[in-house]
Amino acid sequence: MSVALREVKEEAGISKVRPVSEGIFSLESLTVDGHEKNGVYVSSHLRLNVTYLMEADPEEKVSIKEDENSGVAWFAPEEALERSTEPWFVDRVYKKLIEKMNHSGE
């Protein structure tokens, strides 16, 4: 959890963030097809996606670094479905996370 919290603070440039709970919110093992990255071939592999649910102060300004996190912004969870450039993530991961988040308060 401490690594995820530190990464959120560093990548978004925010300081007022806290975990909603200490546990993992969602865990997926994802297949990644072989692809080119920065001119180098990356072979097919598995990626472990670990998601923690965190709260932050939406009044705090995020820090955008064009070469690292140009898509970082404040928006409603449902807006992630529209903003994502990865259709597979929208259908298989983001929709599931939003549904789980909406039901976690019941």
- One-letter amino acid at 32 equals V
Residue 104 pLDDT class (50, 70, 90 cuts): confident
Whether 98 shows a pLDDT value over 70: the answer reads yes
What pLDDT was estimated at residue 48? 92
Given the candidates 3.40.1160.10, 3.90.79.10, 3.40.30.10, 3.30.230.10, the CATH classification of the domain at 2-74 is 3.90.79.10
Whether 17 shows a pLDDT value over 90: the answer reads yes
pTM of the model: 0.73
What size, in residues, is the chain?
106
Domain(s) labelled CATH 3.90.79.10 in the chain stretch across 2-74
Tell how far CA 75 is from the center of its chain: 13
* DSSP β-bridge partners for residue 35: 42
CA–CA separation, 69 and 94 (whole Å): 18
